[in-house]
Structure 1
């Protein structure tokens, strides 16, 4: 029966700065009696790469899975902790502070090269989200025009840094000598750096630009080259022994997360309202109705990076799958950007063994629930 329905190689040792969210807790992997069914409810710990102050992956996967009942259907109680970026999120998993996290592939590959015992178990962001942007009318029109320029990145340990270097390399430049990477964060801080001349261009993800564009700003974008097609970004990762000990719980968590993602693709406004409920800090003290239109558009921009680029939701399948070709391209990209120094060993990096069971859910039921959900 079917079930109902971001990073430098040298930064892996960054200490984890964790703070429990309002819905967080302690005690990874415990269980308690489910009062409704008498069954045991498993508890797992989810590491989140940053504070949740906007519409992104935590809304589309965790918040929706929680509010729409997908986690309870799987008899899961998920606790969350916040960390300071993907590198720290991977370290939280490696240290046992968390059971699973969606982290940037660069952090996972760098950790594996250093012998950190983590393994990727399911893809999330599958459509390359990074772009180089300039102010309208800038003389920078292609990657080669970046020579001698300052590029604003989120941080030197984020996925934007290797991307900016790879873009410079695409333009025939030496990414270590011909461009200068300046940490500028995201949002208004990044915009101020660009408009104030501190940097000549920004290297951010699509959703971050969408947020700024909805405030009335506009940008020119450099064209990404074909090398970026198929490179993976956010990917679910666990510790190897956690995968052995909690295979069933991790499978159930991934299944609930992908149900949440499918729901979000079909009804992003309802998903966004679920996000407000789980993470009220997103509202910044405002009323939901005052923010819902723009926040829904921002969430849609993120969801588009995580679902198939073609086809209708009813045709989507193989949630979490990452091909050998995609991993090879990702490894090549990370080598060229200096994140890793050698080809990753896919036999230790990637385990697709859960995905058959992860995909054992009624997608039509999820779609129907999303279509009938109040907006």
Structure 2
């Protein structure tokens, strides 16, 4: 699932080492066809991969489709307990890179942790407010005096719900009640049973429920949410200096994987099963592939341009100063950071030109030619 802006700044001081566990990756020291030893990158994953999400669309595809091999890279992975722990693993040297929430990255930087974002990943705001079809609630203003179901009060859905009603001139502390309802069937039951009047979830969570035949009515997000960034690739400053070339090649392989996933999410999902078999939960791939592909397609939509065909997608990983500003403003309002970040310290886009230097048509052709 998407872990968008769920990390709280308070956990940054906690050691992440106790939460680390091996979950996959290649064999260190492997060589390419020329006999040259492959560079090894250690990637921290913010939560175990038990469903279609970012590691499937990027890492699994890059590994199974040969993009990592093309870059002469071996990637090993470790699990951590959320974005804060993933950033801490990078900061401690336990991992070289992680796709983490900007909330965790900016909060860490504010505390003096020497981490830096080197490439964006999720670029479209995925959180939505939903009601039951036919509900009298059709706008943010209608939520006055209502209960909104959030994943938990510590999740990113809580600050999103507060910001959403603030846009309508409501007081989020007085005019609405936030009720923890989790995700999936638990959240659906809370809405259908009247425990809450609306839900604040991310698009993948809604897609998972809708695939069971249920429907939602969605409220329109305000303009303040356009351009807010979430998952981005993060490294430690000295790791960037020491492994600049390898990190660049890792980004290039990841963005190739993302492009492949945009063209052929079903093939990407099957790559995910191969690398992270726990996703199947003991079931057959053919029994899950249809629904899992739709869930992955929803995630990919959050990480690719809203308009245009894959052949026109470019500038993978770019984040504008305006987007950083909107993201920081949102996080300040949510209480996750206290001041505007120093962009020169927190953002280094020097790798992106080379990370984008690949034959997109070849990747698209490979995805189109893939058969399952």
SS for the counterpart of 1:63 is helix
SS for the counterpart of 2:315 is coil
Deviation at 1:59, TM superposition (A): 0.7
Structure 2 Cα separation of the partners of residues 147 and 85 of structure 1: 32
Are residue 246 (structure 1) and residue 247 (structure 2) matched? no
Structure 2 Cα separation of the partners of residues 149 and 7 of structure 1: 26
* 1:122-137 equivalences in 2 (<5 Å): 122-137=119-134
Given that 2:280 and 2:288 are in contact with CA atoms closer than 8 Å, whether structure 1 keeps it comes out as yes
Give the RMSD, CA atoms, in angstroms: 1.9
SS for the counterpart of 1:40 is coil
SS for the counterpart of 2:29 is strand
SS for the counterpart of 1:32 is coil
Given that 2:151 and 2:157 are in contact with CA atoms closer than 8 Å, whether structure 1 keeps it comes out as yes
Are residue 69 (structure 1) and residue 66 (structure 2) matched? yes
Shift in alpha-carbon separation, 1:19–1:88, aligned structure 2, 3 A: closer
What do the CA deviations read for 1:219-246 (whole angstroms, capped 9, x no partner)?
Answer: 1111100111111111111111111111
The unaligned stretches of length 5 or more in structure 2 are 1-5
The unaligned stretches of length 5 or more in structure 1 are 1-5
- Identify the range of structure 1 (339-348 vs 130-139) with the bigger mean alpha-carbon deviation: 130-139
* 1:302-341 equivalences in 2 (<5 Å): 302-341=299-338
Given that 2:121 and 2:303 are in contact with CA atoms closer than 8 Å, whether structure 1 keeps it comes out as yes
Are residue 109 (structure 1) and residue 106 (structure 2) matched? yes
Structure 1 Cα separation of the partners of residues 173 and 25 of structure 2: 41
Deviation at 1:14, TM superposition (A): 4.1
What do the CA deviations read for 1:165-221 (whole angstroms, capped 9, x no partner)?
Answer: 211211212334433333333222322333344433221111110010001111111
Residue 3 of structure 1 aligns with which residue? Answer: none
What do the CA deviations read for 1:272-303 (whole angstroms, capped 9, x no partner)?
Answer: 11011111111122111111111111111111
- Identify the range of structure 1 (302-311 vs 110-119) with the bigger mean alpha-carbon deviation: 110-119
Shift in alpha-carbon separation, 1:131–1:110, aligned structure 2, 3 A: same
Deviation at 1:252, TM superposition (A): 0.9
TM-score (normalised: structure 2): 0.93
Are residue 183 (structure 1) and residue 180 (structure 2) matched? yes
Shift in alpha-carbon separation, 1:183–1:367, aligned structure 2, 3 A: same
What do the CA deviations read for 1:319-365 (whole angstroms, capped 9, x no partner)?
Answer: 10001111111111112222222111111111001001101111111
Shift in alpha-carbon separation, 1:132–1:365, aligned structure 2, 3 A: same
Residue 23 of structure 1 aligns with which residue? Answer: 24
* 1:122-161 equivalences in 2 (<5 Å): 122-161=119-158
Shift in alpha-carbon separation, 1:75–1:7, aligned structure 2, 3 A: same
Structure 2 Cα separation of the partners of residues 155 and 75 of structure 1: 42
Shift in alpha-carbon separation, 1:59–1:356, aligned structure 2, 3 A: same
Shift in alpha-carbon separation, 1:9–1:291, aligned structure 2, 3 A: same
Given that 1:211 and 1:298 are in contact with CA atoms closer than 8 Å, whether structure 2 keeps it comes out as yes
* 1:292-307 equivalences in 2 (<5 Å): 292-307=289-304
Say which of 255, 260, 276 aligns to 1:258.
255
Structure 2 Cα separation of the partners of residues 54 and 12 of structure 1: 26
SS for the counterpart of 2:172 is coil
SS for the counterpart of 1:81 is strand
What do the CA deviations read for 1:101-146 (whole angstroms, capped 9, x no partner)?
Answer: 1111122122222222111110111111110112223333222233
Shift in alpha-carbon separation, 1:195–1:11, aligned structure 2, 3 A: farther
What do the CA deviations read for 1:69-90 (whole angstroms, capped 9, x no partner)?
Answer: 1111111111111122222222
Shift in alpha-carbon separation, 1:330–1:272, aligned structure 2, 3 A: same
Matched positions, count: 366
TM-score (normalised: structure 1): 0.92
Residue 276 of structure 1 aligns with which residue? Answer: 273
What do the CA deviations read for 1:39-69 (whole angstroms, capped 9, x no partner)?
Answer: 1211111111111111111110010001001
Structure 1 Cα separation of the partners of residues 339 and 309 of structure 2: 38
SS for the counterpart of 1:238 is strand
- Identify the range of structure 1 (348-357 vs 48-57) with the bigger mean alpha-carbon deviation: 48-57
Say which of 195, 219, 224 aligns to 2:192.
195
Are residue 355 (structure 1) and residue 356 (structure 2) matched? no
